[in-house]
Protein backbone atom coordinates (compact mmCIF):
# COMPACT_ATOMS: atom_id res chain seq x y z
CA UNK A 1 0.00 0.00 0.00
CA UNK A 2 2.90 2.37 0.66
CA UNK A 3 4.01 2.01 -2.96
CA UNK A 4 0.56 3.01 -4.21
CA UNK A 5 0.45 5.93 -1.75
CA UNK A 6 3.80 7.16 -3.08
CA UNK A 7 2.59 6.74 -6.65
CA UNK A 8 -0.59 8.68 -5.84
CA UNK A 9 1.47 11.51 -4.30
CA UNK A 10 3.78 11.61 -7.31
CA UNK A 11 0.80 11.73 -9.70
CA UNK A 12 -0.81 14.56 -7.72
CA UNK A 13 2.38 16.63 -7.95
CA UNK A 14 2.72 15.93 -11.68
CA UNK A 15 -0.88 16.95 -12.35
CA UNK A 16 -0.46 20.21 -10.44
CA UNK A 17 2.80 20.85 -12.27
CA UNK A 18 1.24 20.18 -15.68
CA UNK A 19 -1.68 22.55 -15.00
CA UNK A 20 0.71 25.28 -13.82
CA UNK A 21 2.79 24.79 -16.99
CA UNK A 22 -0.32 25.00 -19.14
CA UNK A 23 -1.49 28.24 -17.53
CA UNK A 24 1.92 29.89 -17.84
CA UNK A 25 2.42 28.79 -21.45
CA UNK A 26 -1.01 30.07 -22.50
CA UNK A 27 -0.74 33.37 -20.63
CA UNK A 28 2.83 34.10 -21.76
CA UNK A 29 3.27 32.39 -25.15
CA UNK A 30 6.26 34.56 -26.10
CA UNK A 31 8.19 33.63 -22.95
CA UNK A 32 7.36 29.95 -22.73
CA UNK A 33 10.29 28.11 -24.33
CA UNK A 34 11.10 26.06 -21.23
CA UNK A 35 7.42 25.41 -20.35
CA UNK A 36 6.77 24.25 -23.92
CA UNK A 37 9.69 21.82 -23.68
CA UNK A 38 8.35 20.57 -20.34
CA UNK A 39 4.88 20.11 -21.87
CA UNK A 40 6.45 18.08 -24.68
CA UNK A 41 8.11 15.81 -22.11
CA UNK A 42 5.01 15.16 -19.98
CA UNK A 43 3.73 12.13 -21.95
CA UNK A 44 7.19 10.56 -21.86
CA UNK A 45 7.37 11.10 -18.12
CA UNK A 46 4.10 9.18 -17.80
CA UNK A 47 5.43 6.39 -20.03
CA UNK A 48 8.66 6.23 -17.99
CA UNK A 49 6.73 5.94 -14.71
CA UNK A 50 4.61 3.09 -16.07
CA UNK A 51 7.70 1.27 -17.34
CA UNK A 52 9.71 1.88 -14.14
CA UNK A 53 6.91 0.73 -11.82
CA UNK A 54 4.76 -1.81 -13.70
CA UNK A 55 1.26 -2.16 -12.30
CA UNK A 56 1.53 0.93 -10.08
CA UNK A 57 -0.03 3.45 -12.48
CA UNK A 58 -2.91 3.40 -14.94
CA UNK A 59 -4.16 5.40 -17.90
CA UNK A 60 -7.97 5.57 -18.25
CA UNK A 61 -8.49 1.97 -17.24
CA UNK A 62 -10.79 1.72 -14.18
CA UNK A 63 -12.37 4.41 -11.99
CA UNK A 64 -12.37 2.17 -8.91
CA UNK A 65 -8.70 1.22 -9.34
CA UNK A 66 -6.31 1.99 -6.48
CA UNK A 67 -3.64 2.98 -9.01
CA UNK A 68 -3.42 6.70 -9.84
CA UNK A 69 -4.33 7.76 -13.38
CA UNK A 70 -1.71 9.51 -15.54
CA UNK A 71 -4.06 10.35 -18.42
CA UNK A 72 -4.17 14.05 -17.54
CA UNK A 73 -0.49 14.41 -18.45
CA UNK A 74 -1.24 13.32 -22.02
CA UNK A 75 -4.39 15.42 -22.27
CA UNK A 76 -2.86 18.66 -20.94
CA UNK A 77 0.25 18.26 -23.06
CA UNK A 78 -1.61 17.59 -26.31
CA UNK A 79 -4.32 20.24 -25.93
CA UNK A 80 -2.05 23.07 -24.77
CA UNK A 81 0.60 22.35 -27.40
CA UNK A 82 -2.13 22.32 -30.03
CA UNK A 83 -3.40 25.71 -28.89
CA UNK A 84 0.12 27.13 -28.96
CA UNK A 85 0.86 25.65 -32.40
CA UNK A 86 -2.38 27.12 -33.76
CA UNK A 87 -1.76 30.53 -32.21
CA UNK A 88 0.33 33.32 -33.61
CA UNK A 89 -0.94 32.78 -37.15
CA UNK A 90 1.58 30.01 -37.86
CA UNK A 91 0.96 28.28 -41.20
CA UNK A 92 3.00 25.60 -42.92
CA UNK A 93 3.68 25.82 -46.63
CA UNK A 94 3.21 22.05 -46.86
CA UNK A 95 1.70 19.68 -44.29
CA UNK A 96 3.29 16.38 -45.36
CA UNK A 97 6.20 16.13 -42.89
CA UNK A 98 4.09 17.34 -39.97
CA UNK A 99 1.39 14.75 -40.72
CA UNK A 100 3.98 11.97 -41.02
CA UNK A 101 5.44 12.96 -37.65
CA UNK A 102 1.93 13.09 -36.16
CA UNK A 103 1.18 9.57 -37.42
CA UNK A 104 4.44 8.16 -36.04
CA UNK A 105 3.81 9.86 -32.70
CA UNK A 106 0.24 8.56 -32.50
CA UNK A 107 1.29 4.98 -33.19
CA UNK A 108 4.37 5.04 -30.91
CA UNK A 109 2.80 6.67 -27.85
CA UNK A 110 -0.51 4.81 -28.11
CA UNK A 111 1.34 1.53 -28.65
CA UNK A 112 3.39 2.12 -25.49
CA UNK A 113 0.26 2.95 -23.48
CA UNK A 114 -1.40 -0.29 -24.52
CA UNK A 115 1.76 -2.30 -24.06
CA UNK A 116 2.36 -1.02 -20.54
CA UNK A 117 -1.31 -0.89 -19.56
CA UNK A 118 -3.46 -3.87 -18.75
CA UNK A 119 -7.18 -3.18 -18.77
CA UNK A 120 -6.83 -0.44 -21.39
CA UNK A 121 -6.26 -3.13 -24.03
CA UNK A 122 -9.91 -4.18 -23.70
CA UNK A 123 -11.33 -0.69 -24.24
CA UNK A 124 -11.17 0.20 -27.90
CA UNK A 125 -12.63 3.69 -27.45
CA UNK A 126 -9.57 4.48 -25.33
CA UNK A 127 -7.38 3.35 -28.23
CA UNK A 128 -9.20 5.65 -30.64
CA UNK A 129 -9.10 8.56 -28.16
CA UNK A 130 -5.35 8.27 -27.62
CA UNK A 131 -4.60 7.84 -31.31
CA UNK A 132 -6.26 11.20 -31.93
CA UNK A 133 -4.73 12.81 -28.84
CA UNK A 134 -1.20 11.59 -29.54
CA UNK A 135 -1.50 12.48 -33.21
CA UNK A 136 -2.31 16.05 -32.19
CA UNK A 137 0.62 15.97 -29.79
CA UNK A 138 3.01 14.87 -32.54
CA UNK A 139 1.75 17.46 -35.02
CA UNK A 140 1.97 20.29 -32.49
CA UNK A 141 5.41 19.23 -31.29
CA UNK A 142 6.70 19.26 -34.88
CA UNK A 143 5.18 22.68 -35.64
CA UNK A 144 6.46 24.29 -32.42
CA UNK A 145 9.96 22.84 -32.78
CA UNK A 146 10.05 23.97 -36.41
CA UNK A 147 9.02 27.54 -35.55
CA UNK A 148 10.40 28.21 -32.05
CA UNK A 149 13.88 27.01 -33.03
CA UNK A 150 13.87 28.99 -36.28
CA UNK A 151 15.90 32.15 -35.63
CA UNK A 152 16.36 33.09 -39.27
CA UNK A 153 15.47 36.53 -40.62
CA UNK A 154 12.16 36.13 -42.46
CA UNK A 155 11.77 36.96 -46.12
CA UNK A 156 8.90 39.38 -46.77
CA UNK A 157 6.36 39.20 -49.58
CA UNK A 158 3.38 41.41 -50.34
CA UNK A 159 0.15 40.06 -51.75
CA UNK A 160 -3.33 41.38 -52.43
CA UNK A 161 -6.28 40.64 -50.15
CA UNK A 162 -9.03 39.67 -52.58
CA UNK A 163 -11.73 38.89 -50.00
CA UNK A 164 -12.38 39.20 -46.25
CA UNK A 165 -14.82 36.93 -44.39
CA UNK A 166 -16.09 37.49 -40.85
CA UNK A 167 -17.76 34.25 -39.73
CA UNK A 168 -19.30 35.97 -36.66
CA UNK A 169 -17.95 33.36 -34.24
CA UNK A 170 -14.64 35.11 -33.56
CA UNK A 171 -13.05 33.47 -36.60
CA UNK A 172 -11.79 35.42 -39.60
CA UNK A 173 -10.58 34.46 -43.07
CA UNK A 174 -8.70 36.21 -45.82
CA UNK A 175 -8.47 35.22 -49.46
CA UNK A 176 -4.97 36.03 -50.71
CA UNK A 177 -3.60 36.35 -54.22
CA UNK A 178 -0.56 34.17 -55.14
CA UNK A 179 2.75 35.24 -53.62
CA UNK A 180 6.34 34.00 -53.74
CA UNK A 181 6.29 30.36 -52.67
CA UNK A 182 2.48 30.12 -52.89
CA UNK A 183 1.45 29.91 -56.56
CA UNK A 184 -2.33 29.71 -56.11
CA UNK A 185 -5.09 31.75 -54.51
CA UNK A 186 -5.21 30.88 -50.84
CA UNK A 187 -7.71 31.14 -47.98
CA UNK A 188 -6.11 31.62 -44.55
CA UNK A 189 -7.40 31.95 -40.99
CA UNK A 190 -6.18 35.07 -39.20
CA UNK A 191 -6.61 36.85 -35.88
CA UNK A 192 -8.99 39.78 -35.40
CA UNK A 193 -6.02 42.17 -35.28
CA UNK A 194 -4.76 41.02 -38.69
CA UNK A 195 -8.30 40.99 -40.12
CA UNK A 196 -8.89 44.59 -39.04
CA UNK A 197 -5.43 45.66 -40.21
CA UNK A 198 -5.95 44.85 -43.89
CA UNK A 199 -8.52 45.90 -46.49
CA UNK A 200 -10.09 44.15 -49.45
CA UNK A 201 -8.09 45.17 -52.49
CA UNK A 202 -5.20 46.24 -50.31
CA UNK A 203 -2.00 44.43 -49.44
CA UNK A 204 -1.10 41.98 -46.70
CA UNK A 205 2.48 41.05 -45.90
CA UNK A 206 3.83 37.52 -45.65
CA UNK A 207 6.73 36.75 -43.29
CA UNK A 208 8.28 33.61 -44.79
CA UNK A 209 10.65 31.41 -42.74
CA UNK A 210 12.66 28.33 -43.84
CA UNK A 211 11.88 26.42 -40.61
CA UNK A 212 14.32 24.88 -38.14
CA UNK A 213 13.29 21.40 -39.36
CA UNK A 214 13.43 22.54 -43.00
CA UNK A 215 9.63 22.81 -43.18
CA UNK A 216 8.87 26.33 -44.50
CA UNK A 217 6.26 28.31 -42.59
CA UNK A 218 4.83 31.80 -42.71
CA UNK A 219 2.66 34.39 -40.99
CA UNK A 220 0.24 36.89 -42.49
CA UNK A 221 0.54 40.39 -41.00
CA UNK A 222 -0.64 43.89 -41.92
CA UNK A 223 1.93 45.80 -43.98
CA UNK A 224 3.59 48.74 -42.26
CA UNK A 225 3.75 51.67 -44.64
Identify whether residues 191 and 125 lie together within a single domain.
no
Q: What is the mean pLDDT of residues 56-67?
A: 78
Identify whether residues 143 and 183 lie together within a single domain.
no
Q: What is the pLDDT of residue 116?
A: 83
Give the separation between CA 212 and CA 102, rounded to whole angstroms: 17
Domain containing 138 equals: 2-148
Identify whether residues 8 and 95 lie together within a single domain.
yes
The residue out of 99, 126, 148 marking a domain boundary is 148
Identify whether residues 6 and 72 lie together within a single domain.
yes
CATH number reported for the structural domain that contains residue 193 in this entry: 2.40.50
Identify whether residues 42 and 141 lie together within a single domain.
yes
Identify whether residues 217 and 161 lie together within a single domain.
yes
Identify whether residues 67 and 112 lie together within a single domain.
yes
Identify whether residues 13 and 106 lie together within a single domain.
yes
Say if CB 216 and CB 209 are below 8 A apart. yes
Helices (H) and strands (E) in the chain, counts: 6, 6
Identify whether residues 116 and 182 lie together within a single domain.
no
Average pLDDT along the chain = 87
pTM: 0.85
pLDDT at 119 over 60: no
Give the separation between CA 199 and CA 162, rounded to whole angstroms: 9
Q: Any idea which of 51-65, 73-87, 117-131, 159-173 has the lowest mean pLDDT? A: 117-131
Identify whether residues 103 and 202 lie together within a single domain.
no
Identify whether residues 78 and 125 lie together within a single domain.
yes
Amino acid sequence: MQKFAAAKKMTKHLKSFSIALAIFALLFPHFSGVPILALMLLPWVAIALMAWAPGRYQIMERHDDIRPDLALLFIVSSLVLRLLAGGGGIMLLQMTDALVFATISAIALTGLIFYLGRFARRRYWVLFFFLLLNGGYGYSTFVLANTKLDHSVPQMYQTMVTKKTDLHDKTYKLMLAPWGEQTQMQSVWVSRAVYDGVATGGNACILFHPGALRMPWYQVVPCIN
